[in-house]
Structure formats: structure tokens, C-alpha cells
Amino acid sequence: LEMAEECLKYAMDLSGLLLLYSSLGDAEGISKLATLAKEQGKNNVAFLCLFMLGKLEDCLQLLVESNRIPEAALMARSYLPSKVSEIVAIWRKDLSKVNPKAAESLADPEEYSNLFDDWQVALAVESKAAETRGVYPPALEYVNQADKSHITLVEAFRNMQIEEGDQPLENGDSNHELTEQNGEEHYTEEHEEQNGEEGSHADSTDGAVLINGNEADEE
């Protein structure tokens, strides 16, 4: 691996170095690669390095410096909602040079928060996620991390609020509650018992034996 790293460095194969460091979980190597990629003008590699390191503010700055302001606004909306207003102001100023009317139509969440779904939840999630953003699990933990649910942070935060509030279930009946076990959905025991009883009645034909949908002739 050391020889491969040296060869990639001499060849200035930044994409290869990114693959190597990310596979090894080498945060220090990725950080150095981000600096090198920026110096070489390889913004795509630099962005990926910064993103994997959780340096989201640096990602936004890189997008703005690369004149990818719309992309910066979308990223801020997804990962750093507290920065949306700042990026929108930059976007408006840049867009007004070519289309003032379009620039005025860009919505700022500080002015029109009603246009942004779950805005307050997103701000709370950002603050909570920032606590662990600089924690880099070793590459050996990939298997454990990959098994985690793909639920978004906003959904997880909203569900947590519902659980803390002890709100009633949407269907209003605990019999309809679903529980997740090993990635599969199972009904509660009471619901299963009901299904079992219904299934036994459905399978029963009052003692008659059906052949091709008709009652068998008596011998």
C-alpha cells in the first residue's frame, strides 16, 4: 500500500489517492489530499474530500469560489440550513446581473419560512448533527454502519419528538402498529392472532372437499 501511495503521488493521480485513502479510512490523508486538490484546481476531488471529512462549511465555500452558487444553495438547504440565507443573498446578487426578476423570486427562509418544509426541525437537526460531524469511525466499522437505517435525520428527529410527546398512533389502534425486526415488518401478536383465526375460517369449507372448485361427489 505504501508503494501504491507513492506511485499515485508521483503520478498526481488524485482520484486514485482518494480511492486509496477512503478505503483505508485515512482521515489525515484525505485532509492533505483536499489541500493538494484545491492547489491543483481539482475541485471535484477537493469537494469529495471535504465532504467525507464533514467539513460542510468548507464545501460551501469551495462551491461559491467555483461559481457554483445554485449548488451551494441546494447543499446548504440539505446540510447547513443556517447558511441558506447567506448563500441566497450571494445567489441573488450574482443572478441579478443577468436576470433581476429571477433574482427577486429567490425565496429566503428568514423572509418566507412557510415555503420551507420542516424548517425549524432542519435547524435543530443541524445543531444536533454538528456534535458528531468531526468523528471519523475506522474503515472496519463500515459493515456496522451500512446496516443502519436509511431514514433521514429530519425524519428521525420528527419521530423522536412524536415518541417523547406520547402522541396516539395515526390509525388510533395499537393493533395496527407495525414493528420492524431484521429489516422486515411484522404485525403485533394480537393482529397475527386475528389473522390466524380469519385464515382458519377462510380455509374451512364446512367439511366439504373441493375439487376444481366443486364439491366432491359422494361415493
pLDDT attached to residue 29: 93
Of residues 134 and 216, more confidently modeled: 134
Give the pLDDT confidence score for residue 14 in this predicted structure.
95
Mean pLDDT of the chain: 75
**Is the predicted pLDDT of residue 218 greater than 70, yes or no?**
no
Average pLDDT rounded to a whole number, residues 134-162: 70
| 179 contact partners, CB below 8 Å, separation of at least 6 | 185, 186, 188
CB-based contact 30:54 (threshold 8 Å): no
> What are 102's strand-pairing partners?
none
Give 62-109 pLDDT, tens digit per residue.
999 999 999 999 999 888 999 999 999 999 999 999 999 999 889 888
Closest CA to 155 of 192, 122, 194: 122
Amino acid, single-letter form, for residue 63? L
Tell me the pairing of strands 214-215 and 178-181.
Answer: unpaired
Rounded mean pLDDT of 42-50?
95
pLDDT tens string 166-193: 444 444 444 444 344 444 444 444 444 4
Rounded CA separation 92/103 (Å): 5
